Chains A and B, each alone.
Chain A
Amino acid sequence: MARELYPLLMFLILFLLLAAGVPIAFSLAAVSIAFSFFLWGPGALNILVSAAWGSMNNFVIIAVPLFIYMAYILQKTDVVADMYDVIYKWSGKLRGGLAIATIVVGAILGAVSGVVAAGVIGLGLIGLPQMLKHGYDKKMSLGAVLAGGTLGQLIPPSTNMVLYGCVTGVSIGGLFAGGLVGGIFLAFVYIIYILIRGLLNPAFCPSLPPEEQVSFKEKIRALKGIILPGVLILVVLGSMLNGVATPTEAAAFGAAGALFIGLCKRKLTWDIIYSSCYETLSVSSMVGWTMIGAGAFGSVFSGLGGNTLVANIAMNMPGGPNMVLAVSGVFIFVLGMFLEPGAIIFLAVPIIIPILTRMSFDPLWLGLAFNFILQTAYLSPPFGLSLFYLKGCAPDDIDIVAIYKSSVPFILLQILAVVIIFFFPSIVMWLPRYLGIGV
């Protein structure tokens, strides 16, 4: 069999194992084992141990269990329920208020941390049960969590943008500035979508029933319940943005703060502290092992000549600049169906971006557009990390198919956003230009 086909064969076998219901982490690991062993011999099996050791020594992802623990505590001490009730009251006749709040919270979490797992699982534990409780459509609720939780890759700080900047030499500050407005723009696109769906179909994301709508005075009174969590968010955000704390430290403050709020509300019991521990363990372990599997799979894929495959396709792209741009975009999107964004940045970006830059596309704009597309990789079936993270923390009766389906409209919205910034580049470029970085 031609060597060039091995990378494709890897995708195929991964797909079969996933379809057979083998846990994702172990499907990825099993494919890596088989290919590394048969092609490079038994020594190469160490790639899996390397991936595990790498995860065990990655300081950035410590934020994941900390955020998850915070989310469990906030959820179990009813802090979240109170907050969403307030938002529900405030949104009054507005349909989709809770989904919009979820997107906004996602953007805020994204500004605190660059780790997608933390965002998605945080929202999955905080926002999802509340939306379902208030009668929101399941698909809409899941989609809002996925899309909102993944926003952190566009809104700085973002590990993917740093990697992208280092690999292509594009200004990281420029990417951050563009990503900030780009992320907010994308959040607006999501919100408009939610509003439109709400208008078209009242049952989709119902507003407060008229008999429960309250006066402005009562709305103000309702705010009392969210003073403490509000302060918590301000402290965590503020400490991060002022450089007092790293994202990991901010997450630890968040967890400690959640325990503190629980105490103040007299809702915190030993049982809540304890059960949150082992529920956090299950989800974190799932995330950690999925990262190990994805790491090993990405390694073996690259090692098998994935680069050559990418380069061959890139060199043979048809048509003028815009055609090449479109084809590369589609190509990155397709890779994103099977690989995680970090792997794509290392694998395809160093090959494709120089070609496009030579065609006189603005490097910073290209970087932003590609980071939009890379973000879809988290959401696109069959292999999307955000999808799996959400499955890991959602109620048992929500199956992966429902999550797959819920991601589709939001993937389309992201693609729409890329098209919009193609025709109106200044949407993402004005801030970098205004600040004079990277342009």
Chain B
Amino acid sequence: MRRFGRFVSLLILPLIFEIVYSALKSLILNKPPIWSFEISLFLYGCFFMLGSAYCHMDKKHVAVDIILHYLPPKGKRLQRIFSEGVVLFVALVMLWVSIPAAWRATLIEERSTHQTPFNPEVWWYRWIIPFSCALLSAQALKDMMIAILKRPSRTPEIREPGQ
């Protein structure tokens, strides 16, 4: 998951490059590349959606952890299990609903609603939702099992320099 997340995170670089390139081309030749708009959306959408499991693994999805501080260890563990359960529930429901949606989009070979001259096929982009949710469910399930089985909550990571 970590390796996958880090791979996904690199998408920000082509995103920057692509927008800067398009803007410059638009400025100099007064004609931006026709694919610019949708390609930025694709890069951004894949970036933040596929990154959700990685974000969850690092517990970077913000929570209001007021009560947490006052709970005894057992309560903390229950809280962990409950919280992971809710995340798992949401991810599974989204997974369940988004697969038929993506499948229908595939059948009609859905194209972009943005109606640019580029007009790319977007059915594959629909599959990013179930794929992200599958990753997220796997991560939440894993974290929940760890909390239930009461193993040490996280294997110590080798922190890389500069982090």
Question: Which residue numbers of A lie inside 8 Å of B, CB to CB?
Answer: 17-27, 29-30, 33, 45-46, 48-49, 52-53, 55-59, 61-62, 65-66, 69, 76, 244-245, 248-249, 252-253, 255-256, 259, 269, 271-275, 277-278, 280-290, 382, 388, 391-392, 399-401
- A62-B82 in contact (CB<8A): no
Q: Which residues of B contact A269 (CB under 8 A)?
A: 162
Q: Which residue of B lies closest to A56 (CB)?
A: B45
The answer for the CA separation of A55 and B41 in the assembled complex, in Å, is 10
Least CB distance from B107 to A in Å reads 17
- A286-B12 in contact (CB<8A): no
Residue in B23, B49, B113 whose beta carbon sits within 8 Å of that of A52 in the complex: B49
A259, A272, A289: most-surrounded residue (chain B CB, <10 A): A289
Q: Which residue of B lies closest to A269 (CB)?
A: B162
Residue in A289, A399, A400 whose beta carbon sits within 8 Å of that of B61 in the complex: A289
Residue in B45, B51, B67, B97 whose beta carbon sits within 8 Å of that of A57 in the complex: B45
Q: Which residue of A lies closest to B57 (CB)?
A: A282
With A252-B20, A281-B51, A285-B55 in contact, do A56 and B41 touch (Cβ < 8 Å)? yes
Q: Which residues of A contact B48 (CB under 8 A)?
A: 55, 65, 281, 284-285, 287-289
Q: Which residues of A contact B47 (CB under 8 A)?
A: 65, 281, 284-285
Q: Main SS of the interface on chain B?
A: helix
* 22 A-B residue pairs with CB within 8 Å: A23-B63, A23-B87, A26-B86, A29-B90, A33-B93, A57-B41, A59-B40, A65-B15, A245-B23, A252-B19, A256-B16, A259-B16, A277-B6, A277-B9, A278-B9, A280-B12, A281-B9, A281-B12, A281-B55, A282-B51, A282-B54, A400-B64
- B87-A49 in contact (CB<8A): no
Residues of B58-91 whose CB lies within 8 A of A:
58, 60-69, 79, 82-83, 86-87, 89-90
- B60-A56 in contact (CB<8A): no
B155 interface residue (CB < 8 Å to A): no
Knowing that A400-B65, A400-B66 are A-B contacts, what are 18 other residue pairs whose CB atoms are under 8 Å apart, sorted by A's residue number? A21-B65, A21-B79, A23-B87, A56-B129, A58-B41, A65-B15, A66-B12, A69-B12, A248-B19, A249-B23, A273-B13, A277-B6, A277-B13, A278-B54, A282-B54, A289-B48, A392-B62, A400-B63
The answer for the CA separation of A174 and B128 in the assembled complex, in Å, is 41
Least CB distance from B125 to A in Å reads 7
Q: Which residues of A contact B79 (CB under 8 A)?
A: 20-21
The answer for the CA separation of A21 and B70 in the assembled complex, in Å, is 12
Least CB distance from A302 to B in Å reads 20
- B86-A256 in contact (CB<8A): no
Q: Which residue of A lies closest to B61 (CB)?
A: A23
The answer for the CA separation of A62 and B40 in the assembled complex, in Å, is 8
The answer for the CA separation of A27 and B16 in the assembled complex, in Å, is 32
B160 interface residue (CB < 8 Å to A): yes
The answer for the CA separation of A280 and B60 in the assembled complex, in Å, is 11
Least CB distance from B66 to A in Å reads 6
B35 interface residue (CB < 8 Å to A): no
The answer for the CA separation of A275 and B90 in the assembled complex, in Å, is 29
The answer for the CA separation of A256 and B21 in the assembled complex, in Å, is 11
Residues of B5-44 whose CB lies within 8 A of A:
5-6, 8-10, 12-13, 15-17, 19-20, 22-23, 27, 37, 40-41, 44
Q: Which residues of A contact B125 (CB under 8 A)?
A: 56
Q: Which residues of B contact A282 (CB under 8 A)?
A: 51, 54-55, 58, 60
B101 interface residue (CB < 8 Å to A): yes
Q: Which residues of A contact B13 (CB under 8 A)?
A: 273, 277
- B23-A22 in contact (CB<8A): no
The answer for the CA separation of A58 and B114 in the assembled complex, in Å, is 10
Q: Which residues of A contact B126 (CB under 8 A)?
A: 53
